[in-house]
């Protein structure tokens, strides 16, 4: 009976999350632009969309937030139509959408992992970058994380624990952390904020930018485990896990690397011209990328791309060959 109630509550929570994570910018008096994006992009993309509308008042921007892999699944499995897909991990676009559903991918922003908490979190007065794992393993402390098969923050959390095991020299640490508090895994990382703010859980593995946007307290982790430093790729790649692939039963080996966000326009975009306008606005240093940086995400524009030849000419200025 307890399991049925928990499942029922989880389904209700997911349905509510899907409703509240959709938003529109502008009145419906012209073109409609549909954007699927990572939950961690919700606040900066709302600001980008509002600024974009000032220059393009005839375009209504419709945005849906979900875990990046869920966004891709809407396109692949549910045949949901959209114009733009923005992912918290550029490889989600490479692995799940290209070449069937998209031709190209532009890397545009970075981020880092952090441990988020608030004043009432148990043992928050004691936590630091040397003892955080001991505090999270305390039986009186509860932490949450997102689902690795739905959300990049979820598999980045698993990668972080593996890197922490190596960095701190604590054999078995990763398994201990990943096997604890399994009831507090949610589809995407921002779903956990409500649980934190209502004192259901004490800590969250979350992106630093989201913590800053929501004015939450957070612990800065060493670069060796926070997945922020492009120069630590060799060490990051020593961590890995299997996540679900394109088709049922298939898996993808996800290897650790520095966090990089990606954006694309899908092949059957209903409003391709408006999509190009929006992506151009997003990637412009004085426009969208200025807003992204104000929201705690460093710009990676211009970036390299192995899909350069297929990127629309209007957008090649934001990419290096």
Q: Which residue stretches of the chain are H helix?
A: 2-20, 42-55, 68-76, 90-92, 132-136, 152-168, 173-178, 193-197, 208-213, 223-226, 233-236, 272-283, 288-294
Q: pTM, whole model, 2 decimals?
A: 0.88
Q: Which of 266, 275, 267 is nearest to 314 (CA)?
A: 275
Question: How is 134-194 classified by DSSP, letter by letter?
Answer: HHHTSTT--EEEE-TTT-HHHHHHHHHHHHHHHHHT-TTHHHHHHTS-GGGEESSGGGGHH
pLDDT for the residue numbered 22 = 55
More confident residue, 12 or 227: 227
Q: Parallel, antiparallel, or unpaired: how do β-strands 143-146 and 185-186 relate?
A: parallel
Query: Model confidence over 150-177: pLDDT tens digits?
Result: 999 999 999 999 999 999 999 999 999 9
Q: Is residue 241 a contact partner of residue 158, using CB atoms and an 8 Å limit?
A: yes
Asked whether the predicted pLDDT for residue 2 surpasses 60, the reply is no
Q: Which of 66, 262, 27 is nearest to 154 (CA)?
A: 66
**Is it true that 2-110+261-320 and 113-243 share their CATH fold?**
yes
Least confident of 47-56, 139-148, 242-251, 274-283: 242-251
Parse the chain into domains and list their residue ranges: 2-110+261-320, 113-243
Give the whole-angstrom CA distance, residue 98 versus residue 80.
Answer: 16
113-243, which class in CATH? Answer: alpha beta
As given in the structure block, the two tokens for residue 51 are 């600024």
Q: State the angle between helix axes of 42-55 and 272-283 in degrees (0 to 180), rounded to the nearest 10.
A: 110
Residue 6's pLDDT band, with cuts at 50, 70 and 90, is very low
Residue 28's pLDDT band, with cuts at 50, 70 and 90, is low
pLDDT for the residue numbered 27 = 56
Strand, helix or coil for residue 271: coil
R_g over Cα of the chain: 19
Q: Which CATH number does the domain 2-110+261-320 belong to among 3.40.640.10, 2.40.37.10, 3.40.309.10, 3.40.190.10? A: 3.40.190.10
């Amino acid at each position: 009976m307890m399991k049925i109630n928990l499942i029922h509550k989880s389904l209700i929570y997911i349905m509510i999350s899907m409703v509240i994570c959709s938003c529109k910018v502008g009145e419906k008096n012209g073109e409609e632009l549909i954007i699927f994006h990572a939950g961690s992009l919700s606040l900066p993309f709302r600001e980008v969309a509002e600024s974009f509308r000032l220059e393009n008042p005839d375009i209504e921007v419709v945005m849906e937030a979900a875990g990046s892999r869920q966004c891709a699944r809407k396109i692949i499995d549910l045949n949901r139509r959209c114009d733009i897909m923005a992912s918290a991990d550029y490889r989600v676009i490479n692995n799940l959408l290209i070449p069937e559903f998209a031709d190209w991918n532009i890397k545009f922003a970075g981020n880092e992992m952090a441990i988020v908490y608030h004043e009432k979190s148990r043992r928050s007065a004691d936590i630091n970058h040397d003892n955080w794992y001991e505090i999270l393993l305390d039986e009186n402390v509860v932490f949450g994380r997102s689902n690795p098969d739905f959300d990049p923050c979820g598999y980045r959390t698993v990668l972080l624990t593996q890197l922490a095991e190596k960095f701190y020299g604590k054999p078995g640490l990763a398994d201990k952390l990943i096997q604890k508090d399994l009831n507090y895994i949610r589809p995407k990382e921002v779903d956990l904020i409500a649980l934190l703010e209502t004192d259901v859980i004490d800590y969250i593995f979350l992106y630093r930018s989201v913590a800053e946007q929501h004015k939450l307290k957070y612990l800065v982790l060493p670069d060796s485990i926070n997945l922020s430093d492009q120069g630590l790729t060799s060490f990051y790649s020593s961590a890995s896990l299997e996540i679900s692939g394109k088709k049922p039963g298939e898996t993808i080996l996800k290897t650790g690397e520095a966090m990089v966000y990606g954006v694309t326009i899908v092949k059957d975009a209903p409003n391709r011209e408006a999509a190009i306008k929006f992506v151009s606005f997003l990637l412009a240093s004085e426009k969208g990328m200025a807003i992204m940086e104000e929201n705690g995400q460093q710009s990676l524009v211009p970036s390299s791309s192995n899909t350069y030849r297929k990127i629309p000419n209007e957008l090649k200025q934001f990419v290096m060959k």
